[in-house]
Structure 1
Amino acid sequence: MKHFSTSGATLHYDDLGPESGLPVVLVHGHPFNHTLWAPQAKALAAAGHRAITPDLRGYGDSTVTPGKVLLSGFAEDLAALLDHLGLERAVIGGVSMGGQIAMEFQRRYAHRVLALILADTSPVAESEEGKAFRNSLADRLLSEGMAGYAAEVIDKMLAAYNVTALPDAADHVLTMMRTTDPEGAAAALRGRAERPDYRETLAAVTAPTLILVGADDVYTPVPDAESIRRLIPHATLAVIDGAGHLPGVEQPERFNAALLPFLAATVPAW
């Protein structure tokens, strides 16, 4: 992995494919790391694109910032990563919390977005109940660690049937969750609880946009993706069969079969 420093943290990232290729930044969700995107990074590089997959602040090998990290802070880190790489613009994508970070990046740096990829995510601000839950979960992770939480949510992160049908995928997801630093996870949870509503931001998007969702996602189900599609009329929506909240892990070939043609069709002049 490569690394750079910004705002008091050292952030790690992978950078695969030719430097001259279309830059595609893919942002993982909570509580994962850049390896979540390994199947996509490999496919993108093979297609001649440049796949950039960071470990967010507090996750993977990147520095933990205790307390609270707002989604705006994560978006600023992405902008700093682009600056570090000498990139004025890039395709920006993310899954779940990573999708919300992509929306925050769009809100702040729309001029830097070549195209937008939103997977299994929601643009709606957190409810009061949701805020209480995320802050309570942050407290729990700090006191108990990640193992119990990981065991409880694995059959929601993946479609329940894939926990046994896809043991390698389940092991990968569980390992990422269990090895995430609780302090980093808690800081992100507290920041995410304060996220703004992104529906107005999405309604103003002019960049090409791809929306993806697992057909059996219980966290952000297909109707949520369809609502994003209504906000961005020119967007493309792909429903990934045989997948839950992490279709890029559960069904990488189907996910990539939507991603690669989208990039070829909508950003052909790079």
Structure 2
Amino acid sequence: MQDGWAGRKRSVAIGGTAMAYIEIGGAEPPLVLIHGFTDTSRSFSLLVPYLEGRRLIIPDLRGHGASQAGTSRLGPADFADDLAALIARLQLVQPVLVGHSLGSMIAIKTVSRHPALAGGLVLLAGTLQPEIPDAHPMVVGVQSLRDPISPTDPFYAYWHACEADVPRDFLAMAAAEASTMPAPRWRVILEQVRRTDLTAAARSVKVDTLIVNGGRDPLFDSMHRKRLVEAFPTAAVVEAADCGHNPHWEDPALIAQLISAHFPAHREPRRMSQP
């Protein structure tokens, strides 16, 4: 699956730039899987086999993977508007937005800006307000990157660290794709994310929500989970005790089961959308 992943991508024009995505046909409601910072749609490739039978839409965010960066800002609101435009272009009906890390922030921002768009949210390893200090290994590591970034840069040992065995070919491909993003773009996006506060946006969201956090997440700890729970008081909350920041890599079977149980398929499959 890893070797053929990039070849499955389609592309559509969104906001004057080309946005790449993968579509897998199946039962409704669709699941829109939104990857994290510097990842691509490949981030969900380990999860896909466990969601067999569901309609999946898996985009590369603006400036990530095969999607063009354009000349716009690269903050959560910009990604959210791209995502809303893609959902409209594909005529998705009440999709469930499944976001990981930055993707969870984008999912929240999308629903807050477009309240009638989605039928549900799944927030994996999420946060409302990253508050990542200057001395944090993430910030220091990103600041130290220089072009061309090597896929074997030691920073990836931290950046892609997992609490479970994850296939090496997947991690190698993930690092290779992240390395195609210019180092200045890493820094621009990171600074936008660090300044983001979604507390008010989250409190305006009324859709059914599932929150899943890793019990060993080194980036967004119990304080971040507490804030999410306070902002989404009716959400279902699950701690994947043995997972870190990448639960959909570390235990994809569990994450798929949680998603499917909370948001089961309930309509007949539709034909796949035309780009």
Which residue number corresponds to residue 17 of structure 1?
25
* Superposition deviation, residue 183 in structure 1: 4.8
What do the CA deviations read for 1:34-57 (whole angstroms, capped 9, x no partner)?
Answer: 01011333333x23x211000011
* Superposition deviation, residue 67 in structure 1: 7.5
Distance across 1 between alignment mates of 2:20 and 2:203: 32
Letter in 2 for 1:9: T
What do the CA deviations read for 1:48-106 (whole angstroms, capped 9, x no partner)?
Answer: x2110000111111112367412111111001101210225321121111111111112
Contact 1:55 1:61 in 2 (8 A): yes
Which residue number corresponds to residue 180 of structure 1?
181
Higher relative contact order, structure no. (Cα contacts within 8 Å, ≥ 6 residues apart):
2
SS of the aligned residue for 2:88 comes to: helix
Contact 2:29 2:267 in 1 (8 A): no
**C-alpha RMSD of the superposition:** 3.0
Distance across 2 between alignment mates of 1:73 and 1:165: 31
What do the CA deviations read for 1:200-231 (whole angstroms, capped 9, x no partner)?
Answer: 22223321101111221100124422431232
- Superposition pairs of residues 24-63 of structure 1, within 5 angstroms: 24-44=31-51, 46-47=52-53, 49-63=54-68
Gapped regions of structure 1 (runs ≥ 5): none
SS of the aligned residue for 2:67 comes to: coil
Letter in 2 for 1:32: D
Q: Quick one: structure 1 residues 192 and 150, their matched pair in 2 at CA, closer, same or farther if it must change by over 3 Å?
A: farther
What do the CA deviations read for 1:122-161 (whole angstroms, capped 9, x no partner)?
Answer: 102647x4599988876644x44433895325345433x5
Which residue number corresponds to residue 257 of structure 2?
257
- After TM superposition, the score normalised by the length of structure 2 is 0.81
Distance across 1 between alignment mates of 2:199 and 2:227: 10
Distance across 1 between alignment mates of 2:157 and 2:166: 13
- Superposition pairs of residues 72-151 of structure 1, within 5 angstroms: 72-124=77-129, 126=131, 129=133, 140-141=144-145, 143-147=146-150, 151=154
Distance across 1 between alignment mates of 2:225 and 2:136: 25
Q: Quick one: structure 1 residues 156 and 221, their matched pair in 2 at CA, closer, same or farther if it must change by over 3 Å?
A: farther
Q: Quick one: structure 1 residues 86 and 176, their matched pair in 2 at CA, closer, same or farther if it must change by over 3 Å?
A: same
Percent identity, aligned pairs only, is 21
Structure 1 residues 7-16 or 169-178, which shifts more? 169-178
Which residue number corresponds to residue 6 of structure 2?
none
SS of the aligned residue for 2:119 comes to: strand
What do the CA deviations read for 1:136-189 (whole angstroms, capped 9, x no partner)?
Answer: 876644x44433895325345433x53x67544543443343343435434422
Contact 2:149 2:179 in 1 (8 A): yes
Q: Quick one: structure 1 residues 148 and 12, their matched pair in 2 at CA, closer, same or farther if it must change by over 3 Å?
A: closer
Distance across 1 between alignment mates of 2:135 and 2:108: 19
Matched, 1:5 2:13: yes
SS of the aligned residue for 1:12 comes to: strand
SS of the aligned residue for 1:122 comes to: coil
Contact 1:41 1:52 in 2 (8 A): no
- After TM superposition, the score normalised by the length of structure 1 is 0.82
Q: Quick one: structure 1 residues 132 and 214, their matched pair in 2 at CA, closer, same or farther if it must change by over 3 Å?
A: closer
SS of the aligned residue for 1:106 comes to: helix
SS of the aligned residue for 1:21 comes to: strand
Q: Quick one: structure 1 residues 119 and 247, their matched pair in 2 at CA, closer, same or farther if it must change by over 3 Å?
A: same
Gapped regions of structure 2 (runs ≥ 5): 1-8, 269-275
Which residue number corresponds to residue 152 of structure 1?
155
Distance across 1 between alignment mates of 2:76 and 2:239: 26
Distance across 2 between alignment mates of 1:218 and 1:133: 11
Contact 1:90 1:114 in 2 (8 A): yes
Distance across 1 between alignment mates of 2:176 and 2:191: 23
Letter in 1 for 2:261: P
Letter in 1 for 2:227: S
